[in-house]
Structure 1
Amino acid sequence: MLNHLRPALVLLGAFTLLTGVAYPFAMTGVAQAVFPKQANGSLVEQDGKVIGSSVMGQSFVSDRYFQSRPSATVGPDPADSSRSISAPYNAANSGGSNYGPTSKALIERVQADVEARKAQNPSQPVPMDLVTTSASGLDPHLSPEAALFQADRVARARGLAPDRVRELVERTVEPRTLGLLGEPRVNVLALNLALDELGAR
């Protein structure tokens, strides 16, 4: 029996060292050497302070900023850790709500969001991504239409000409990856940083 057990234990130890220690260290080293910014979270700094990540959405609630799409992520309730509460853009708990299209809670939430968006801009139809969440709940992007939909509100709040804000949106549109993958998009954090650079903070 020992003759059968010894090779199994040796292989267990060898593969533990290889796949559990050597491989992760090697991949971490390669990532830090070749793609250090991405390996460290694509962090965005301003005045020496980390203010977000270019690949992670975050909440913007002020009318002076472009707002991200809704997020369905949750987190523990501070008052009762056995319960979960809404925690938008919680990177520790990525995921959607898993509500189906006939869910009453989902329908009511979307209808309320549509009405709120219509109040901000009654002259245009509300873009879909302003009232629906992404599968991860962490999407940092909006469609160009969703960003332009908010331009007049942002311009009013900042005392800027609407055309100037719309031009800024157009300048920050990212094209399809390699010209064919995905859709044109706007990174909300990058857009808001560019907006701050226009002045009238």
Structure 2
Amino acid sequence: MVVRVVLADDEGLVRAGLRSILTSAADIEVVAEAEDGLEAIELIRRHRPDVALLDVQMPRLDGLGAMSAIRAASPDTALIVLTTFLEDEYIADALNEGALGFMLKATSPRELIDGVRAVADGAAYLSPKVAKRVIAGPGARRMSREATARELTAALSDRERTILGLLAAGLSNAELADRMHLAEGTIKSYVSTLLTRLGVKNRVQAAIIGYEAGLVRE
């Protein structure tokens, strides 16, 4: 399967670099480029890409501000926020708006390609520095989150806990189906149920809970 991507960044050199990196992979095609959030919404509505890479800071409308309109226009497009700035507010806003990925512009070409492939396949993807920022933090706050995560997951069935642990480890729906010997449609139903039971909006938030609850096995 070829992963179709729309890029949105107000800097032409950045867009050219991203395009060069992504199209070096035989299974990724950049179908359009936008200079701001408003143009991104229109191009995504027109092309219905598998993945959209959105810069945080753009003129007229930034990446975070465009996300709800993009999800309404093309619900099946997976969103990755790509930014220079590692700030908690940006990360929280992106995840709350439904981003499946949050990556830094300083990421390696291989990580960028892996991240696009992962979200296109339905998995969540955070750059390692972002994941550390989300999961770590002051000791008291981290312990409180971990206690809450354990409480939330205690009510899940054994199978749900297993699926959540694998989701938190970064497996896509297809990989989960293969690992659990279940149909992919069944996995999607489990994931949807997990999001509801955990009270979260997307896979990234569910993955964080699974990680903090200690469900990821090394």
Specify which structure has the bigger relative contact order, considering alpha-carbon pairs within 8 angstroms and separated by 6 or more residues. Answer: 1
Same-fold call, TM > 0.5? no
How high is the TM-score relative to the length of structure 2?
Answer: 0.25
The structure richer in helix per residue is 2
Normalising by the residue count of structure 1, what TM-score does the alignment of the two structures yield? 0.27
Which of structures 1 and 2 has the bigger CA Rg? 1
